[in-house]
Chains A and B, each alone.
Chain A
């Protein structure tokens, strides 16, 4: 099987939400000696990126994206151990992401993460219910470019402001762009708490980080 067919197969498997097919093509890629990083990047991630486009066009919604993510992960699990580690040549924009303390809803954050990874960004995922200080510590330690904070709940929104306050207090606010996402938020809230920007949904978030790092 040619490299092109395998890469296309990986992309299609993700786009068509076919976990088994993604695994089959990933195994094929390993057997054929295709560079694992390239198989992820030009195969699986390309498919996820296309899924993001369909989300953008309101063709796909959350259920479809979740199944695309399953297919993506099935392929990544097989390919990851075969990645030849020399990624240092290409420094990717690094994004620290997490759901703020007080909230455990992480579907939105996970989808943003997937689309950003597919878009070529390096993601440090802090998980959910993350204390404000942890965002700051991780961003400093990882020398991140962007801090992305999510919440679905109005009750935890205020903790987002604490992240910005801590960055200011520690004198490192200028080092990072801070972006927000989640149901109850708005650009006006981002402005109010001194964050850089806000995104209304996962594909918006990808466009936003592309713009911020252009």
Chain B
């Protein structure tokens, strides 16, 4: 073991204001770890044994605090997914359900659902808990879908976004029903020692108005966060949002999430001032720096993140602002994780750090 504390022990001590050996990190490079075992992203997503092997290889090399997997609630609505060789899975067929059809949607218990994707998801989760979680070698984080984004990929993003204006009742029915089903599905995780995170990228301030976020996304995300707290009370939740979230930080914090993970384009110092008393920030080493920066740039990115967030000391969990590209050189990952152990060592003191982050391009008002 490289560190003096175990990840769960460190995170709890960090959150409770006790002494720690270093800041926790949230760096799991999901789309990158297949590089360590020479597999494609398609193999990573579709072959559970290969995915587990890649995750374990990532842990062996870097001893990251957190490893991550998805939780498939097993909702079969007739949409279809496509898995590109080296890209993220995309919805290749959407549906156009009536209100009556939406009301009739029901879920099979994920623990007994025979669908291959659900069984795969359970298998991976249990293997990771068995190999890393039970011995507290790493936190097992589980991605639970954001209902607004799930609604968008179910009926197609354009159709969905237009309905925010044309048919708000339909949107509430759709997002509300998916929220019910997600909450029902995650009950299967009761008693599991996992932490949760939710990504809701389509609800980003780059896509919709703050008012639309408050009306169509926030109430449902709040229900999800509360339900997850009920399922695993001792563990914390992280909300990830891409793009320009500047106008909705308070709303994100209102959902009750304990951590918000925002893009590197966001001003951390500003976020700290506005919501730092209610939630912690996770981020935001830039994917671009990982791809085209030098090892020194990567280290400076980390130091800049820490420095910007540092006004309230137990505020920041360094991590990626968003997923680093697969083609990023591995030396940048080695440099980043070594630098984290050096610069995030407790007590952290960023005073006097002259850290420029050349690839952190800050968002500007349109």
Residues of A within 8 A of B (CB): 17, 55-58, 61-64, 66-67, 70, 102-105, 107, 153-158, 183-189, 192, 200-201, 203-204
Contacts and interface: CB of A to CB of B under 8 A. Distances in A.
A201 B206 CA distance: 9
Given A67-B166, A155-B84, A201-B206, 20 more contacts: A56-B366, A61-B207, A61-B208, A63-B161, A64-B165, A102-B86, A107-B157, A107-B158, A153-B87, A154-B31, A154-B325, A157-B325, A158-B325, A184-B287, A186-B359, A188-B292, A188-B359, A189-B288, A192-B292, A203-B366
Interface residues of B, number: 38
17 contacts: A57-B366, A63-B162, A63-B208, A66-B161, A102-B84, A107-B158, A153-B88, A158-B325, A158-B327, A183-B206, A184-B322, A186-B288, A188-B288, A188-B361, A189-B291, A189-B359, A192-B292
B324 A67 contact: no
Nearest to B263: A183
Contacts of B287: 154, 184
B253 to A, nearest CB: 21
B326 interface: yes
Contacts of B87: 102-103, 153, 155-156
Contacts of A102: 84, 86-87
A117 B292 CA distance: 33
B358 interface: yes
Q: Interface on chain B toward A: helix, strand, loop, or mixed SS?
A: loop
Contacts of A155: 31, 41, 84, 86-88, 325-326
Interface in B149-206: 157-158, 161-162, 164-166, 206
B94 to A, nearest CB: 12
A85 B90 CA distance: 41
Contact of B162 (A70, A154, A203): A70
A66 B162 contact: yes
Interface in B31-77: 31, 41
B366 A63 contact: no
Contacts of B298: none
B208 A62 contact: yes
A153 B358 CA distance: 21
Contacts of B98: none
A200 B244 CA distance: 11
A60 to B, nearest CB: 8
B126 interface: no
Nearest to B365: A58
B217 interface: no
Contacts of A66: 158, 161-162
Contacts of B86: 102, 155
A63 B361 contact: no
B242 interface: yes
Nearest to B359: A188
A58 B157 contact: no
Interface string B316-344: 00000011111100000000000000000
B113 interface: no
B209 interface: yes
Nearest to B327: A158
Contacts of A61: 207-209, 212
B364 interface: yes
B243 interface: yes
A17 B325 contact: no
Contacts of A56: 366
Nearest to B287: A154
B243 A200 contact: no
A67 B292 CA distance: 38
A64 B162 CA distance: 7
Contacts of B84: 102, 155
